Every structure is written in C-alpha cells, then in structure tokens.
Chains A and B, each alone.
Chain A
Amino acid sequence: EAEVAQSPRYKITEKSQAVAFWCDPISGHATLYWYRQILGQGPELLVQFQDESVVDDSQLPKDRFSAERLKGVDSTLKIQPAELGDSAMYLCASSHGTGGEAFFGQGTRLTVV
C-alpha cells in the first residue's frame, strides 16, 4: 500500500539552529500539505502545494519558515532559526486533488532545546 514518507521521525535541535524536514507524497498525488500539530491540538495547515506551486501559505511564518516542492514531487520544509515554540509534530499529507481525503505520513517530531 502506498504511503507518504517523511524523514526524520524525530529531531532535536538547539534554538537558533536550522532544521529541515523531507516528505515524499504518494505517487501521482498533485496536492501536498504541511501541517503543524502542537501537543494536545489538532493539525494546523502551514502550506499547501498544487504540483510545484504554493496555493496557500497564509499560516506559514515566512520570516523563519520556508517550503519548496521544486519538481512537483517531494518537498522540504525548513525552519531557520528554530525557536522553542516550534517544538511540535510536523505532518505531511497528500491527495489526488485539492481538499477531500488526505493521506498522512507518520510525521516528524521536533524538539527545540
């Protein structure tokens, strides 16, 4: 069964350092999402791609966060510099089209110390 792959599973970094997460969506899925999930809360959308284009990044803190999906397949989310408040689970998801059912990866748990 096809899955959304994310790496790393866990990351510990010191504040002010740079950190990056990688996501490989299910093959053929045009839409890719990055969500942030703070402990005890629901996922919050950070950025949404349709192929290689950003269609929604309204909740992405652009002073420190960046995301790219250069060839419309896999994607990287970067934080520079990391802050203590960035500690959370970062979830990647993909879907055939926009909206509707999304398939999630296992996430990257980030701890900033």
Chain B
Amino acid sequence: GDSVTQMEGPVTLSEEAFLTINCTYTATGYPSLFWYVQYPGEGLQLLLKATKADDKGSNKGFEATYRKETTSFHLEKGSVQVSDSAVYFCAMDSSYKLIFGSGTRLLVRP
C-alpha cells in the first residue's frame, strides 16, 4: 500500500549547519508531497509542498524537490537556527487523504 518513510531521529546539529532529512514514498500514482513541522505542544503546520515531478517547494529557507525517479522528497536547509528545532513530517496525498511518515526530530544547538 501507499506509504511514506523518513529517516529516524533525532538529528542534532549546531547552529548554521546544513540540514538534510530524507523522505521516500511508495505510491501507485503521482501524489502531491508535503513537509509539515510540529513545534512542541502544537499541531502541525504546513512547511512546503510540491504537486508534480521536478517541482521544488520552498519556505523559510527550507527546500525540497519532488524526484519521481527516486520517489524521494528530501528536506534541506543551508543554515539551521535554534528556532528550527521541531519535529518534521513528510506526507503525501493518497486517495484524497494525507499519509504521514513517522517524523524526524531536529535539535539545533547554539
């Protein structure tokens, strides 16, 4: 069945380091892909999205490119900040509902 797999955390980085969080998907069609972020004690917020192959979603310095050939949607940021510490969820639109990965916790140290 359709599913999303993302790298396990926690990911611990120093401020200004480069971030990559891997995400791959399994789907029968060509789903839309999303990254959501969850700060402590809060609900999920959409970070960025891509609706078709080769699209690049970007927001707040984060980027992810929809790669159909590798069924991937890796999240990257060139220079993380302490305020980026949160849990990041990769998700896809499957049969008109969102399927989420298990989440990756990011901890950025000053």
A104 within 8 A of B: yes
CB atoms of B101 and A42 under 8 A apart: yes
A55-69 interface with B by 8 A CB criterion: 55-56
> Are B46 and A101 closer than 8 Å at their CB atoms?
yes
Please tell me if the beta carbons of B44 and A100 are within 8 angstroms of each other in the complex.
no
**Binding site secondary structure of chain B:** strand
Chain A nearest CB from B36 CB (Å) reads 8
Binary per-residue interface labels of chain A (41-55) against chain B in the complex, 1 for a CB within 8 Å, 0 otherwise: 111110010000001
Q: Which of B12-20, B61-69, B78-86, B92-100 contacts A (4 or more CB under 8 A)?
A: B92-100
Q: Return A5 CB to nearest CB of chain B, in Å.
A: 11
Interface residues of B (CB under 8 A from A): 4, 32, 34, 36, 41-46, 49, 89, 91, 93-103
Q: With A93-B44, A106-B41, A106-B43 given, name 20 new contacts (CB 8 A).
A: A33-B97, A40-B102, A40-B103, A41-B102, A42-B4, A42-B89, A42-B91, A42-B102, A43-B44, A43-B89, A45-B99, A48-B97, A55-B96, A99-B94, A99-B98, A100-B32, A104-B36, A104-B43, A105-B43, A106-B42
